[in-house]
Amino acid sequence: MPDQEIIADIRQFNRFYTAQLGLLQQHIFDSEYSLTEVRALYEIHFNKQTTATGIREALHIDAGYLSRILRKLEKAGMVLKHPLPEDGRSSYLTLSDRGRRLMVKMGTLSDDQIRDMLSHLPPNDHQTIAASMRELRRLLGAPGSGITMEQVEIRSDIRPGDIGDIIALHGQLYAKEYGYDHRFEHYVMETIHDYMVHADPRRDRLWLATSLGRLVGVVAIQHREGRQAQLRWFLIRPEYRGIGLGKALMQQAMDFCRAQRFRKIYLLTTDQQSAAAALYKKWGFVKKESTPASLWGHDLYEERYELEL
């Protein structure tokens, strides 16, 4: 049973955004096509092979109405019909060159409108606005809003807020996924503190994966005695797992270790992080030690993995 307050928020947003969209779609009134016609054009543009029924379902409009729209667009030379070989009733719909040019023009107008809207808002907020919209689209289950590597940026310069974010990410995720208590976050804080105090830019490095300005993944290499290196704080937000981010981060760390001529990499984990363990093994890490311990409110085995380079 959703909270009444949540519903109120959504309703308020809907009312607000109805007005907003009305403003942003005014440019369409200047064109010779109605909003629905333009929406149909968009639909044809973005779906490579779609039929009238496909569009009808996407736009939720009357079949007769759509039929007329398509006739008009076809007559105007914007849309081409390609009869389906396997079904004489339907046709694939595509845009003609002219239709594509129209889309570009409408896109430009729409962009101008949005640019104009943004110009009245603080520039600092632009990125946040886009991020919130993406987030909403994803949360509401919009098709094509899935998370991909393209949105993710990996960097290794440490900026203000990064350290705290890394600590918070560990605290949150390990609490949610393994039920570790606050002592774990505290432990992470201590290890990061240690890292920062002894950091040597040539032998230590930390990579941050961010998406829409938010921290979504981390890994670091910390130098140790005897040309050894420790791999630390390897962590990825659950939504961003399975898209190759783990591999990308690990690759960065490995490349760095090879370039710095480390002799051996080791890492410490527990038997509970089985998914991570699988990944370590894939990169050639081998479990060398496993000692029982009672940590952060759990009885577990501390494990040490090693990889000779």
Partner DNA sequence: TGCCGTTATTTGCTTCCGTCAACTAAACTA
Partner DNA sequence: TAGTTTAGTTGACGGAAGCAAATAACGGCA
Q: Among residue numbers 54 through 73, which ones bind DNA (CB under 7 A)?
A: 56, 61-68, 70-71
- From DNA, a second copy, none, which one binds at residue 290 (CB under 5 to 8 Å depending on kind)? none
The 3-state DSSP composition of the chain as helix, strand, coil percent (nearest 5) reads 55, 25, 25
Looking at residues 133 to 162 of the shown chain, list those that interact with a second copy (rule: CB under 8 A): 133-137, 139-142, 145, 158-162
Stretch that binds a second copy, among 88-96, 174-182, 257-265, 300-308 (CB under 8 A): 174-182
Looking at residues 85 to 144 of the shown chain, list those that interact with DNA (rule: CB under 7 A): 86-91
In contact, 265 and 257? CB cutoff 8 Å: yes
Show the CA angle centred on residue 191, arms to residues 302 and 180, nearest 5°.
50
Question: Given candidates 48, 89, 115, 261, which one binds a second copy under the rule CB under 8 A?
Answer: 115
Tokens of 6: 């949540």
| 301 binds a second copy, rule: CB under 8 A | no
Question: Partners of 306 in the beta sheet?
Answer: 266, 286
| 51 binds DNA, rule: CB under 7 A | yes
For the residues of 218-272, what is the DSSP string, one character each? EEEEEEETTTEEEEEEEEE-GGGTTSSHHHHHHHHHHHHHHHTT-SEEEEEEETT
- From DNA, a second copy, none, which one binds at residue 156 (CB under 5 to 8 Å depending on kind)? none
| 172 binds a second copy, rule: CB under 8 A | yes
For residue 14, give every residue at least 6 positions away whose Cβ sits within 8 Å of its Cβ, in sequence order, or none. none
User: At closest approach, how far in Å is the CB of 193 from a second copy?
Assistant: 6
Stretch that binds a second copy, among 12-20, 79-87, 88-96, 260-268 (CB under 8 A): 12-20
User: At closest approach, how far in Å is the CB of 75 from DNA?
Assistant: 11
